[in-house]
Structures are given as C-alpha cells and as structure tokens.
C-alpha cells in the first residue's frame, strides 16, 4: 500500500466518521436541552484530551485524541447502564431537576432516540439534495441481458421486465441495483419477469464481476448482468425533494435490515461483516472517485449507524430504549442489577463483534495470507 493511498484512507475515514458522530451526539444533546437536562460534557473522540472549552451553560466541549467515537454526558449519569450518581442527592433541588434520570421515562426515551433518528434524517437530507440537483431516476426494470452473463444464461430476453428477485419486488431499476448486492456469487435465485404480458419464472445463478479494490486484492462483486433498455430521469421540485430523500432512506434501511436478516439466518457468511478498517478502505475508494461518491457513502454510513444503534442490544441506544419500554409498561424501572448484567453482557458482545470484524478486515487486507506465505 502506497503512503498516499493510506493517507487518503485515513483522512477520508475521519471525514466520514467525525461528522456522523457529531451529528449523532448533537441529536442527544439538543433534545436533552429541550427536556431541561444539563450536559456536563460533549466529546468527539476518546482518549487524551487534545483541546477543550467550556460554554456559558457549563458544558465542557472536548476533542479526544482517538477520533473513533464520541459521547455526551448528562448530569447525574454514571456507569454503563446510566444509573444515577449517588452524589446527585447532595445537589441543590434546582441542580437535581437538571439530572437525566429524574426526567419522565418518555423524555429519557426521546433523548436516547434522538441520536439514531438524527443520523437517519441527516442521510435523508443528503439524498434529498441529490434528488433536487440531479433529479429522480425513474428507469424501469425493462432490461436487456449482457452477453455471457447470469441473466443471459437464465434465459432473460431483451425487453423483459424484471418483477422480482428471490421474492423481493423491484419497482424500478434503482431498486434492482439495491437488491442484487444482498446475494452471493453462485447463489440460486428465482427471477420473475414479464414477457409479452405473461409472467415467467426463471431460475438464475447469481454471477459476479471480479474487480480490484484499492489495495489490489480481487473482490467478487455480485452481478446479475442486465442493463436498462432506456434510462429515464425526472426533475424534482424543492417541496418534493425531502419526500424522495425520506423514501430513499427508507429503502436503504430496508436493504440494511434484509442484509442483517440474511446474516442471522446464515444465508450470508459472517466473513462478509466489516468494521472500521473496511469502512476506512471504502471511504478512501469513495474519496478517490470524487466528492459525490464520498457524500453518498457518508449518507449510507449514517443510515447504518442510525439503524444499528436502534437494535435492542444493551450498550446501544436501542438497548436503553428497550429498558425504557419495560419501565413504561410496568411503571417502575428495571432493577439496577438486571440492567448492569445486561449492559455488561452487551459490552462483551460488542467487544467480541469488534474482534470478529477486525479479523475479517485484516483478512480482506490480505494480512493472514501474507503471514502464511512468510511462515511457509
């Protein structure tokens, strides 16, 4: 790997992750302020403090040396399960009322929910901007097969309209391009097409295109092998653009959920999971392709960040929301002991997952192959 490529990857990664963490934490911060909760600290990054300043509300804004995360710490919080700090009882009544845990459960839930939601809305804003500037792609799924492709081998003919792939309806060509990457090369699928007013079932074996990534490694990209008969783009007005942005965000959320479902059911290998190193690689590749590709990638990562944080896993925002839901139903908080066990288990799960994706990332970079050749 050349130094410029490595530098581009690191800078691009920081350019992608930094703003998204800031946006996420600002969601928590602003809704917390709206609910009357005092933010003691707002940090971008972890580790040693590079710089800081304190605003007139008493919030310490800090920049950590490791820009791989961030947090906002509200008054009264302590520990991984956000249990109340015992010292809050020593505070004057006015200060106690600004603590996070004394707020009604619905306000605490809103504060926690705000982070992921703002990530999703941030992505929707980017996609709305693209729609406003470049229009909406309304290309239909009337296609022609590429020579020697999986589609041609399955019997697809020029002029056929693809209706669904593996039971997933595809309303337009954009939807088709979002569905294809969910599958593996060599996977057998059911392709439903419309030909001459009749529907036909065409079993197809997903093909692939071998490409080189930025590190020079060969990657098999799933490929059905079709191109649209005609490309159509329509102009979008200022009022319609936000609606399209939300629709595209919803479609990408569904794609992310589908990918997770395939992973859980074993249809997708856990080797496909990537972590920060692979995100850095994709960030560099997107930046090398131009600013539009990088902004599109930022929107995609923002959607994934928002979606993953909503999963009901302890340590994530969704885990806190899960316990708030139980609290709302039974009208009392889940015991601190149960929460602590759950959140420590969630932490162990996330650390294990981080180790797994790091191993996968290093494998995709060819580290293990290089070590085996060196040892051999």
User: Which tokens go with 88?
Assistant: 């809050």
SS3 154: coil
Neighbours of 236 (CB within 10 A): 19
Neighbours of 3 (CB within 10 A): 7
CA-only gyration radius of the chain, Å: 24
Spot the catalytic one: 25, 136, 152, 285. 25
| Distance (Å) of CA 111 to CA 61, 102, 121, 309 | 19, 13, 15, 13
| Distance (Å) of CA 170 to CA 37, 156, 161, 182, 300 | 45, 16, 10, 13, 20
CA–CA gap between residue 298 and residue 301 (Å, rounded): 5
Catalytic-residue membership of 40: no
> Which among 366, 339, 192 has a CA at the least distance from the CA of 277?
366
Q: What is the H or E stretch that residue 207 is in?
A: strand 207-212
> Which among 105, 72, 71, 100 has a CA at the least distance from the CA of 88?
100
SS3 134: helix
CA–CA gap between residue 193 and residue 211 (Å, rounded): 29
Is residue 335 within 8 A of residue 323, CB to CB? The reply is no
> Which among 91, 298, 261, 247 has a CA at the least distance from the CA of 183?
261
Write out the catalytic residue numbers.
25
């Amino acid at each position: 790997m050349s130094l410029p490529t490595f530098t581009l990857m690191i800078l691009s990664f920081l350019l992608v992750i930094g703003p998204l963490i800031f946006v996420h934490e600002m969601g928590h911060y602003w809704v917390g302020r709206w609910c009357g909760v005092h933010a003691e600290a707002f940090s971008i990054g972890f580790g040693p403090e590079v710089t800081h300043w304190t605003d007139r509300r008493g919030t310490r804004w800090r920049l950590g040396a490791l820009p791989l995360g961030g947090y906002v710490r509200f008054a009264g919080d302590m520990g991984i399960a956000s249990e109340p700090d015992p010292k809050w009882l020593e505070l004057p009544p006015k200060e106690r009322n600004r603590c996070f845990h004394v707020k009604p459960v619905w306000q605490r839930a809103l504060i926690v929910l705000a982070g992921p939601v703002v990530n999703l809305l941030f992505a929707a804003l980017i996609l709305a901007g693209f729609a406003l500037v470049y229009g909406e792609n309304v290309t239909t799924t009337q296609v022609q097969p590429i020579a020697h492709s999986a589609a041609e081998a399955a019997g697809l003919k020029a002029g056929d309209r693809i209706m669904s792939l593996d039971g997933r309806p595809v309303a337009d060509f954009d939807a088709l391009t979002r569905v294809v990457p969910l599958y593996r090369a060599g996977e057998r699928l059911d392709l439903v097409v419309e030909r001459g007013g009749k529907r036909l079932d065409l079993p197809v074996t997903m093909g692939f295109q071998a490409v080189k990534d930025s590190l020079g490694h060969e990657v098999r990209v799933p490929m059905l092998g079709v191109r649209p008969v005609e490309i159509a783009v329509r102009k979008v007005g200022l009022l319609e653009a936000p609606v399209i942005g939300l629709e595209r965000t919803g479609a990408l959320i569904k794609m992310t959920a589908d990918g997770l479902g395939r992973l859980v059911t074993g249809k997708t290998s856990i080797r496909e999971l990537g972590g920060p190193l692979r995100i850095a690689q994709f960030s560099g590749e997107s930046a090398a392709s131009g600013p539009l590709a990088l902004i599109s990638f930022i929107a995609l990562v923002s959607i994934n960040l928002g979606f993953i944080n909503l999963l009901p896993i302890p340590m994530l925002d969704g885990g806190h929301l899960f316990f708030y839901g139980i609290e709302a139903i039974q009208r009392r908080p889940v015991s601190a002991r149960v929460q602590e066990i759950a959140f420590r288990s969630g932490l162990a799960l996330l650390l294990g997952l981080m180790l797994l994706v790091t191993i996968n990332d290093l494998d995709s970079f060819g580290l293990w192959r290089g070590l085996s050749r060196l040892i051999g």
